[in-house]
């Protein structure tokens, strides 16, 4: 303990009491910070769950607007957009009650579904970008007109970063689960 927190006196009992008070204050501050971090993580999971439900439902409702080069690959999925939007909504519908109930298993399943959905959408948007860029690069270098139907170049990055965020939530949840399990094992069986 740094000297600035504990005054040295001739009374060892007073010194010990002051040391214990400082330790209690630091433990309370640490506990508050941990509760704040956990609350923030919980709030983010709720936001992701609600967003997944809304995006899934709105994707299905936007069927007529899902046109263009970026959507052509995704239209190859059976029952698109119902199957694709439905999967995301299901991920949110698993994550939401799992988060509210603090069920790590349900949180992992919901996050896993949402993660795979964002990753699939990122790949679905990346394929036409790569294809178009492959065709456009030589034309651009020769000063010729670029091929028509340029896909949206940024969309795959938006969904890839969302996939990465979901993966970070999964890693965090797995780490918390491992640490909690190790703490329970260290305590031993109940008496």
pTM given for the model: 0.76
pLDDT recorded at residue 76: 86
In whole angstroms, give the CA distance from residue 145 to residue 165: 38
Spans of the chain below 50 pLDDT: 1
pLDDT recorded at residue 1: 46
104 within 8 A of 177, measured Cβ to Cβ: yes
pLDDT recorded at residue 85: 94
pLDDT recorded at residue 47: 95
In whole angstroms, give the CA distance from residue 162 to residue 185: 35
SS3 189: coil
Please, where are the H alpha helices in 62-81? 69-72
């Amino acid at each position: 303990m740094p000297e600035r927190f504990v005054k040295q006196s001739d009374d060892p009992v007073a010194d010990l009491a002051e040391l214990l008070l400082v330790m209690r204050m630091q433990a309370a501050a640490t506990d508050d910070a941990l509760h704040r971090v956990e609350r923030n993580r919980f709030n983010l999971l709720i936001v992701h769950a609600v967003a997944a439900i809304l995006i899934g439902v709105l994707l299905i409702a936007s069927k007529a607007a899902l046109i263009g080069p970026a959507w052509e690959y995704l239209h190859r999925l059976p029952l698109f957009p119902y199957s694709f939007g439905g999967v995301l909504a299901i991920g949110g519908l698993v994550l939401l009650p799992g988060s509210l109930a603090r069920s790590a298993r349900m949180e992992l399943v919901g996050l896993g579904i949402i993660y795979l959905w964002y990753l699939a959408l990122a790949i679905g948007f990346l394929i036409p970008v790569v294809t178009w860029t492959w065709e456009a690069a030589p034309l651009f270098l020769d000063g010729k007109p670029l091929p028509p139907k340029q896909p949206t170049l940024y969309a795959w990055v938006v969904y890839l970063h969302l996939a990465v965020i979901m993966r970070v939530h999964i890693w965090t949840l797995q780490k918390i689960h491992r640490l909690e399990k190790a703490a329970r094992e260290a305590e031993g069986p109940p008496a």
